[in-house]
């Protein structure tokens, strides 16, 4: 017989019992016995596909079975098997409508290319100023176009994501674009247009590939503990890449 | 479902969230259970074991810490009744991530901390089918005495 110890949050499902005796010779067998005796526990210990939930940890005589043989770990008479939760939680990630972000990128690209083609630095300046104002107002500069006129046409693409890195990316774009404008005004057209094209290029890989370089920089700064950069990438997402839906 | 909290413990929980800002702070709730009512008697602030970069929006309490909390509760003749944690710059609402990781029966006491100042504090319990959280009423008490809670 092995003593199976139940943590307090699961005791309401074991008639209040803090420990039980099980006969099985393996950890998985002991869990099967437990669930057979108290079926309500199943949904809290296992996922719908039958795997142990991420927060469920099993210790045989103070050793985590992950460091032994997992569910196949043998139990000897007199062993104690303990179920211990790790407890996690946290702030909801915000949801971000990526269709609004893509509208913004498309407008920045379009206006900046138009500025280059018609040799109109003021037009590049307007895009830069719009990005700056958008950053200060904490919205994508041209998202209003999407909200007002494009919503019926473009499918919303609402993903679990952080807004701050996108804001930072837009602010970074604004600074580069306005720096380009200053160079154009200062009589350095090659360097000035190069910076405008840098903004076009970065917005384009964001629009077409789904990679936000500014967001990646934000997440690097987060990793380096720079104050103010508090958000980490959504779980399972490479820093800067568009999060997967769902 | 009611969670009775003495004012001084509530103040400590809120101060813990403010001190952890902009990271999340978390800890254990110890108390007595009387049917659907819980009387908070003590708290154990915990170490956030999440990797540093993610502490702005995640907390993790390792199993060994949970064991220590269970043992402390037992020593004090109390039960481990739940977890408190802070939501920096977010409302005091349980998130989808909270739900995936939630233990049944526990009270999840969440304090919203906006710009470093503790705002609203609300308490939640996971429904038995894990489908969602149900809000639990918080009752502030000037003091919870041994006799009051029995």
Answer yes or no: are the C-beta atoms of B119 and B112 closer than 8 Å. Answer: yes
Q: In the prediction, which pLDDT does B150 show?
A: 46
DSSP run (H or E) holding B61: strand B59-61
How far apart, in Å, are the Cα atoms of B96 and each of A1, A89, A93, A163? Answer: 39, 9, 9, 18
Quote the ipTM score.
0.82
A230 Cβ under 8 Å from any chain B Cβ: yes
Comparing CA positions, the residue from B47, B45, B37, B52 lying closest to residue B3 is B37
Place of tokens 């998985």: A28
| pLDDT tens-digit readout, A182-211 | 999 999 999 999 999 999 999 999 999 999
Q: Which residues of A fall within a CB distance of 8 Å from B96?
A: 92
- Which pairs count as long-range contacts for A107-116, CB under 8 Å and 24+ apart, including other chains? A107/A141, A107/A142, A107/A145, A108/A141, A108/A142, A108/A173, A108/A199, A108/A200, A108/A203, A109/A200, A109/A203, A109/A204, A109/A207, A112/A177, A112/A196, A112/A197, A112/A199, A112/A200, A112/A203, A113/A200, A115/A196, A116/A193, A116/A196, A116/A197
SS3 B32: strand
| pLDDT tens-digit readout, A113-172 | 999 999 999 999 999 999 999 999 888 999 889 888 887 788 888 787 888 999 999 999
pLDDT tens string, chain B, 150 residues long: the values are 899 999 999 999 999 999 988 788 899 999 999 988 999 999 999 877 666 556 666 778 888 888 899 999 999 999 999 999 998 888 888 877 788 788 889 999 999 998 899 999 999 999 888 888 899 999 998 876 655 544
Q: Which residues of B fall within a CB distance of 8 Å from A87?
A: 26, 60-61, 66, 83, 101, 103
Residue of B nearest to A42 (CA): B129
Residue of B nearest to A40 (CA): B128
Q: Which residues of A fall within a CB distance of 8 Å from B60?
A: 86-88
Q: Which residue of A8, A12, A91 is in closest CB contact with B24?
A: A91
């Amino acid at each position: 017989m092995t003593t199976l110890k139940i943590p307090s949050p699961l005791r309401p499902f074991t008639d209040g019992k803090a420990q039980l005796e099980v006969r099985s010779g393996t950890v998985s067998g002991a869990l099967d016995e437990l669930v057979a005796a108290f079926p309500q526990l199943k949904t809290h210990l296992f996922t719908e596909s039958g795997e142990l939930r991420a927060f469920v940890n099993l210790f045989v005589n103070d050793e985590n079975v992950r460091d032994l043989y997992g569910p196949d770990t043998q139990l000897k008479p007199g062993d104690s098997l303990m179920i211990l939760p790790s407890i996690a939680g946290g702030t909801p990630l915000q949801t971000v409508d990526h269709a609004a972000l893509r509208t913004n990128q498309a407008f920045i690209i379009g206006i900046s290319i138009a500025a280059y083609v018609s040799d109109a630095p003021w037009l590049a300046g307007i895009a830069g100023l719009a990005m700056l104002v958008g950053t200060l107002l904490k919205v994508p500069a041209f998202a209003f176009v999407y909200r007002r006129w494009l919503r019926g046409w473009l499918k919303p693409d609402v993903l679990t994501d952080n807004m701050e890195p996108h804001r930072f990316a837009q602010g970074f774009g604004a600074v580069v674009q306005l720096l380009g404008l200053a160079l154009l005004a200062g009589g350095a057209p090659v360097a000035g247009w190069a910076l405008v094209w840098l903004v076009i290029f970065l917005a384009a890989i964001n629009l077409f590939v789904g990679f936000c370089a500014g967001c990646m920089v934000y997440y690097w700064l987060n990793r380096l503990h720079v104050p103010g950069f508090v958000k980490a990438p959504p779980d399972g997402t490479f820093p800067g890449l568009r999060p997967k839906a769902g | 479902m009611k969670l009775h909290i003495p004012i001084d413990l509530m103040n400590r929980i809120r101060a813990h969230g403010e001190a952890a800002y902009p990271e999340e702070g978390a800890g254990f709730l110890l108390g007595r259970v009387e049917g659907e009512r819980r009387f908070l008697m003590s708290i154990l602030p915990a170490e956030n074991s999440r990797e540093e970069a993610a502490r702005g929006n995640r907390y993790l309490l390792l199993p060994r810490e949970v064991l220590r909390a269970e043992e402390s509760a037992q020593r004090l003749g109390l039960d481990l009744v739940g977890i408190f944690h802070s939501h920096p710059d977010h409302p005091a609402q349980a998130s989808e991530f909270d739900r995936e990781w939630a233990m049944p029966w526990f009270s999840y006491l969440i304090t919203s901390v906006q710009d470093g100042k503790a705002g609203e504090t609300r308490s939640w319990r996971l429904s038995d089918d894990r489908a969602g959280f149900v809000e639990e009423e918080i009752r502030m008490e000037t003091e919870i005495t041994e006799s009051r809670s029995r």
